[in-house]
Every structure is written in C-alpha cells, then in structure tokens.
C-alpha cells in the first residue's frame, strides 16, 4: 500500500493573509475580480489549524505534496476535496523526540488500521485515494504535540462525498478483517533491500508474517458459506503453505522457488468471485492491479 506523510508546524500562521489574493491575477473585468475575491475570502474563512483536524473533517491542504502544513481548508464533504480525516491517535514515546523515521514507522503501522475502522472495504474507495497522515515535527513535539492524524487522501485531483462506515454483515466483516490483515502483513514487513540475497532474514520474516495472517484469515473464512468462498479457502490454504515454505527457506534460491507461487496465490484478482458472492466491491484497486500485473 502507498503511504505519505505531512508534518505539522507551529510557525507561519500569518501566511493565511496571502490567500486573500487567490485568483485575483488575470481577471478580465471587474465582475471576474469580484467573484475571485469572494472565492478567496471564502477560502480564508475556511482555514483551520492542522492541529484542530477532527475525525470526519473533509479538507484541502494548502501545500501540495509532503512537507510542513500549518493550515488546511475545511470544506463540506459534498464539495470537491482532497482528503478526509478518518482516525487519530497519540504517540507514547516518552519526552525525547523519537525522530522522523520512527514516527513515520508508527504511523505506517497504525493508520491503515484506523482508516479501515471507517472504510474497511478499501476496494470501494474512490479511485486514487490512499492512507495519508499528519505527524508531529520536532518543534511541535517540544510543545507537547503527540498526535498523529490519519486521513484518506487523493494524491492527484479531488473527490466528493463523505466516506462513512456502512453496515456490514458478519460474514463480510470477517472476510474484510482477514483479507486486509494479509496485505497489511505483506507491505508493512516489506524489507528495504531490493533483493532476497541482500536480506534473506528480512524476507523470511515477511513470509512468516504473511503466513500467520493467512492462517488467521482462513480461520475466519471457515464459518462463511458459499461456493466461491469455499474455492478461495481451498486456494489460500495451499498458498499459506507456500508462504511457510518461504519462511523456512535454507537459502535465497529455495526462497525464490517458494515465493513465486506464494505471491501469485494472494493476487487480489483471485478474490473477485468470492467478493462478489459476499456482496463486496469487486474492482481491484489500480495500485494493486499494477503490482500483480508486473
């Protein structure tokens, strides 16, 4: 899964006044200038400190891409927006700033789980929407800031509508919980090294984590009826065994032999029929489709 972070800042509040001029340049007549000024004034009126973001807020960042964020524009969710706050939590790491990498690692691990509480069927999200988060800076940490704000954000363009937690049946919830955990285990434990030879222990640890997640997923699938779910359960049982073989590989060559069918075995395309049977979204997210297509 693709993760991005933004950083809060305790400086620069006065920069909001610059927004008053948005759109004023290039107006061809007075009417255009007035309309542009009104739009700019509305944008300014909607500015809120990034520290005040709350779950459910829909917003547009003033900065594009990663970096320090001071203010965001809060908008009605029915209007076009870049992101929606879907969860938050506080970091309990003592008094010393743990560092950017350590904070990002915590957010990488916890924000997907927070986001899935609101929208557990990630396949049903608008195209291009992914988990994003705001984290403390070293400067804000010194003032007592420990909060991480998790969002679903569209990296390019905007989306409309509020992402609400819909009611799921017990079998749908069981499926989504297990399935999400499998892919989370895969990506959270992805080694930094590009090759197995460079980090065999790391890749074996990843395989062990995926195998454990598959075992838990299979346990949850046992009580779900349906022909397609049954076929998926049978296929994933075999796949779990392949991940376990990879986790116990004696060397890189043995790992590769087990990994290829293991990775193919969790191709999201193989779950579409079971998802359809369960009444869940059936369009594989573009990022996932690209990974398994390659």
What's the angle, vertex CA 260, arms to CA 186 and CA 203, rounded to 5?
Answer: 45
For 164-190, write each residue's pLDDT tens digit: 767 899 999 999 999 999 999 999 899
C-alpha–C-alpha distance, residues 261 and 245, integer Å: 11
Task: Find, among 58, 63, 119, the residue nearest to 84 by Cα.
Answer: 58
Residue 99 or residue 21, greater confidence = 99
For 19-77, write each residue's pLDDT tens digit: 333 344 454 555 554 455 455 555 666 788 888 899 999 999 887 656 677 788 999 99
Helix (H, G, I), strand (E, B) or coil at 222: coil
Judge whether 5 and 135 are in contact, CB under 8 Å: yes
Query: In this structure, are strands 147-154 and 4-8 parallel, antiparallel, or unpaired?
Result: unpaired
What per-residue confidence (pLDDT) applies to 33? 47
For 107-164, write each residue's pLDDT tens digit: 988 998 888 888 889 899 888 888 999 998 888 899 889 999 999 999 889 999 988 7
C-alpha–C-alpha distance, residues 10 and 143, integer Å: 9
What per-residue confidence (pLDDT) applies to 164? 77
15 confidence band (pLDDT: 50, 70, 90): very low
What per-residue confidence (pLDDT) applies to 51? 84
Judge whether 120 and 280 are in contact, CB under 8 Å: no
Find the range with the poorest average confidence among 12-26, 85-99, 249-263, 271-285.
Answer: 12-26
What per-residue confidence (pLDDT) applies to 213? 98
CB atoms within 10 A of CB 129: 22
Residue 267 or residue 95, greater confidence = 267
Judge whether 186 and 266 are in contact, CB under 8 Å: yes
What per-residue confidence (pLDDT) applies to 263? 96
Q: Tell me the percentage of the chain whose pLDDT exceeds 70.
A: 82
Token pair listed for 238: 């075999």
Q: Is the pLDDT of residue 271 over 90?
A: yes
Residue 127 or residue 250, greater confidence = 250
Q: How far is CA 16 from CA 99, 185, 196, in A?
A: 29, 41, 49
What per-residue confidence (pLDDT) applies to 95? 78
Residue 287 or residue 208, greater confidence = 208
Residue 121's DSSP bridge partners are none
251: left (phi over 0), alpha (psi -120 to 50) or beta: beta
Q: How far is CA 7 from CA 111, 134, 230, 264, in A?
A: 15, 5, 45, 37
Q: How far is CA 56 from the centre of its chain?
A: 16
Which stretches of the chain are assigned E, i.e. beta strand? 4-8, 47-49, 58-61, 67-69, 71-75, 83-90, 129-135, 147-154
C-alpha–C-alpha distance, residues 278 and 24, integer Å: 52
CB atoms within 10 A of CB 208: 17
Q: Rounded to 5 degrees, what are φ and ψ at 267?
A: -55, 120
Q: Is the pLDDT of residue 4 over 80?
A: no
């Amino acid at each position: 899964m693709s993760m991005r972070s933004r950083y809060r800042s305790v400086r620069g509040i006065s920069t909001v006044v610059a927004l008053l001029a948005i759109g004023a340049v290039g107006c061809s007549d007075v009417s255009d200038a007035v309309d542009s000024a009104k739009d700019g004034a509305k944008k300014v009126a909607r500015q809120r400190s990034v520290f005040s973001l709350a779950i459910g807020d829909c917003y547009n960042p003033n900065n594009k891409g990663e970096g320090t964020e001071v203010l965001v524009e809060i908008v009605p969710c029915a209007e076009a927006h870049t992101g929606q706050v879907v969860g938050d939590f506080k970091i309990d790491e003592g008094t010393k700033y743990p560092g950017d990498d350590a904070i990002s690692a915590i957010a990488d691990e916890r924000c997907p789980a927070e986001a899935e509480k609101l929208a557990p069927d990630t396949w049903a999200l608008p195209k291009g929407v992914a988990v994003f988060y705001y984290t403390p800076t070293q400067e804000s940490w010194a003032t007592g800031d420990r909060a991480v704000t998790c969002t679903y954000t569209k990296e390019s363009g905007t989306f409309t509508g509020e992402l609400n937690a819909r009611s799921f049946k017990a079998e749908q919830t069981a499926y989504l919980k297990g399935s999400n955990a499998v892919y989370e285990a895969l990506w959270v434990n992805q080694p930094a090294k590009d090759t197995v030879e460079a980090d065999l222990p790391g890749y074996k640890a990843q395989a062990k984590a995926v195998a454990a997640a598959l075992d838990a997923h299979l346990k949850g699938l046992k009580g779900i009826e349906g022909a397609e779910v049954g076929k998926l359960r049978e296929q994933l049982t075999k796949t779990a065994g392949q991940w376990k073989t990879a986790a116990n590989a004696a060397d890189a060559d043995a790992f590769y032999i087990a990994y290829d069918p293991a990775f193919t075995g969790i191709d999201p395309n193989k779950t579409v029929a079971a998802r359809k049977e369960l009444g869940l979204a059936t369009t594989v997210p573009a990022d996932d489709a690209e990974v398994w297509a390659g």
